[in-house]
Amino acid sequence: MLMQMYYAKDNFMKSYKGKSIYNGVAIGKIYFYSKGEQVVKREKVDNSDEEVKRFEKAKEQAITELNSLYDKALKEVGEVNAAIFEVHAMMLEDDDYIDSIVNMISSQKVNAEYAVAMTGDNFSKLFAEMEDEYFKARAIDIKDISERVVNCLTGKALDGNLGEEPVIVLAKDLAPSETVQMDKSKLLGFVTELGSSNSHTAILARTMNIPALIGIEALPELNGKLAILDGYSGTLIIEPEEDILEKMKKKQQEDLENRKLLMQLKGKETITLDGKKIHLYANIGSVSDVKAVLANDAAGIGLFRSEFLYLEKNTYPTEEEQFQVYRTVAEMMAGKKVIIRTLDIGADKQVDYFNLEKEENPAMGYRAIRICLDRTDIFKTQLRALYRASAYGNISIMYPMIISVDEVRQIKKIVEEVKAELMEQGIKFNEVEQGIMIETPAAVMESEALAGEVDFFSIGTNDLTQYTLAIDRQNPKLDNIYDSHHPAVLKMIQMVVENGHKEGCWVGICGELGADISLTRTFLKMGVDELSVSPSFVLALRKEIREVNISEL
């Protein structure tokens, strides 16, 4: 952490440098948020059966609370972001977790609070020491659910009350449940000491359009002090000088005015000054996200992450269940393009009922299309649902983690089998555009040959950067060298565009880099045809594109 100090004539100002999670400016007093973790004492109990019943009752209350949180989050941040609370409720039903608590109460004759707290600490430590980043992240979830059960046992409630006036929340760390419970009308922004840009809380901040920083020490003595959260520079300024305060108020006002101006772009074409039309689409993970796509006037959906259908269930979603979801999205988009990515399970997206073995390097392991081509029954079920839904809208299909022409030909063979089955059964479907994700260096180098096999490419810049730089994008220790602007990454994107166009294949970008306005002109100069981003970025990108003359770049 870097800290700079500035001395004024009449006051003392401090500026703390962190990492920005979401751009924007927040001005207000600091509210130091302390979890107020209870000191749980070990107490001897005479009736362990009664204590087990107390635990069971508290567990059920915690699950009820989590279900309420899910409903609240569903309205505020959409189905994908709300899913974490379903996961927490499922974790509370885990046999190993419950058995550990019950066994401790019964064998050691201790109070339920102590058994829950100790089990939470033990499991959390176990997960934290694992090498896999996905399991490391679960350590925080275990702590969160255990603290919730302890609070239920002691009668302590967490209501998210931030006081009477809007504040900037400063905390050591924030669990997703704590973020969702806070009164949004009183939340100007938040700053945490711990966490990463890929944490659930960071994702919620971006979804709710709340300026946020991480990596700044949570000092209790800052409570109540006037502060500026500058999401653009990643800076927290305490007790700002008058001239800086006025400057940032002006910046804040400009932000508000820019948002109003952006709303005027709704209904306008996404076209450059010299007439190049760009397809500006949105990324989603569920049916409920479609309203954000329509509200921000995206021209279509460039990435529907279908794996969330699998992540949210306890068993494989049926063909009918998938069909209803795909059909609903297609109908809601009313003829606009909807690109659905086939399931991308594996790596950091684990599903228990898939029974995937633990891997030393899951990001490069058994995942995505590799699972589909190995377990063709799962793949065919999804393809049947997708083709059936194609009769109700403009659906395209995209396949992730491709590394060879041979894989694409295997996919096409399975697709033809599915189409033949549907025709034989008299089930209607439309012809569907077929595309692939370019997210491995192998796919980049083979892109000219691959372009001859498919209709479009969509570049997944998150994984492409990870694999090109050999850097785990979920490891916060490597954030300082993870560089999505690396020349090697940009050269690969250029190569893909050129090779795709040689074979008449349109090329888009659906990774986080697509929303990076500092690169928009670079992508237009490269000849990128489509950008697919989070719905909230659509209008800002449209503004940038409409101000560009590609011939002058």
pLDDT tens, 191-205?
998 877 656 667 777
Domains of the chain: 2-35+160-261 (3.50.30.10), 48-154 (1.10.274.10), 264-552 (3.20.20.60)
* Each residue's pLDDT tens digit, 53-112: 999 999 999 999 888 888 877 777 667 667 778 888 888 988 889 999 999 999 999 999
| 409 labelled binding-site residue | no
| 463 labelled binding-site residue | yes
User: Per the residue annotation, which of 152, 372, 505, 510 is the catalytic one?
Assistant: 510
Residue 199: predicted pLDDT? 65
Is 505 among the residues known to form the active site? no
For the chain, which ranges sit under pLDDT 70?
1-11, 35-38, 77-78, 80-81, 130-137, 157-160, 197-201, 207, 346-351, 474
pTM for this prediction: 0.65
Residue 160: predicted pLDDT? 62
| 159 labelled binding-site residue | no
Identify whether the C-beta of residue 388 lies closer than 8 Å to the C-beta of residue 427: yes
| 542 labelled binding-site residue | no
Residue 9: predicted pLDDT? 39
| 499 labelled binding-site residue | no
Residue 270: predicted pLDDT? 95
Look up residue 455 and give its two tokens: 């209709």
Residue 305, H or E segment: strand 300-305
Is 486 among the residues known to form the active site? no
Identify whether the C-beta of residue 141 lies closer than 8 Å to the C-beta of residue 87: yes
Unique residue bearing structure tokens 């950008």? 531
Residue 157: predicted pLDDT? 62
CB atoms inside a 10 Å sphere around CB 167: 25
CA distance 416 to 438: 23
CA 120 to chain centre: 26
Residue 468: predicted pLDDT? 94
The rounded radius of gyration (Å) of the Cα atoms in the chain is 25
User: Per the residue annotation, which of 200, 485, 486, 505 is the catalytic one?
Assistant: 200
Identify whether the C-beta of residue 257 lies closer than 8 Å to the C-beta of residue 264: no
**Residues 6 or more apart whose Cβ sits within 8 Å of residue 9:** none
